[in-house]
């Protein structure tokens, strides 16, 4: 499994990224910048951010290529709505994007047939591609993706 998983917008305007440890614990960071919104105290723009951490349960196998984990905990480093200024930006603390409604995540391994995924399709492909893994939040209906390069040592 990859150590890093990313949930982001199609245009890449925001991103929620987690670093996953072998024991199921993770740390995460969410950001969304708006460089067009400026003010005297924040000439570089505004950002919504969230640092968070948590833990998944031990995986339970559902099929040959699908596993399930539950969210044991998710904790934010700062309280939602807190505002601070740094380096010409106004930062507002948001929520751990992708974990707003999180109870169960399905893990799709490379080769998972599209019909075995939550929506029964996988982005127009027959199966999850080689080297790609998916953490799918069932309740939140959103997906974090991770990749392992074929040329990784």
Residue 8 pLDDT: 92
For 5, the enclosing helix (H) or strand (E) is strand 4-8
The residue whose two tokens read 């460089």 is 35
Asked whether residue 152 carries a pLDDT value surpassing 60, the answer given is: no
pTM of the entire predicted model: 0.91
15-57 confidence digits (pLDDT tens):
999 999 999 999 999 999 999 999 999 999 999 999 999 999 9
The residue among 68 and 13 whose pLDDT is bigger is 68
Q: For 116, list phi and psi in degrees, rounded to 5.
A: -90, 0
54-112 confidence digits (pLDDT tens):
999 999 999 999 999 999 999 999 999 999 999 999 999 999 999 999 999 999 999 99
Q: What is the DSSP string of 30-99?
A: EEEEETT--BTTBTTEEEEEEEEEEEE---EE-SSSEEEEEEEEEEESS-TT-EEEETTEEEEE---TT-
Residue 10 pLDDT: 64
Asked whether residue 119 carries a pLDDT value surpassing 90, the answer given is: no
Domain locations along the chain: 4-147
């Amino acid at each position: 499994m990859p150590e890093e998983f990313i949930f982001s917008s199609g245009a890449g305007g925001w991103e929620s990224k987690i670093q996953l440890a072998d024991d199921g614990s993770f740390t995460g960071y969410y950001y969304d910048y708006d460089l067009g919104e400026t003010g005297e105290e924040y000439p570089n723009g505004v950002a919504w951010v969230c640092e968070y951490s948590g833990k998944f349960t031990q995986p339970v196998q559902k099929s040959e290529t699908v596993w399930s984990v539950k969210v044991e905990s998710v904790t934010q480093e700062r309280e939602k709505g807190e505002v601070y200024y740094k380096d010409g930006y106004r930062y507002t603390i948001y929520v751990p994007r992708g974990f707003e409604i999180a109870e169960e995540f399905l893990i799709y391994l490379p080769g998972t047939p599209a019909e075995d995924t939550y929506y029964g399709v996988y982005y127009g492909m027959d199966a999850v591609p080689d080297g790609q893994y998916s953490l799918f939040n069932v309740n939140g209906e959103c997906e974090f993706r991770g990749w392992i390069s074929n040329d990784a040592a």
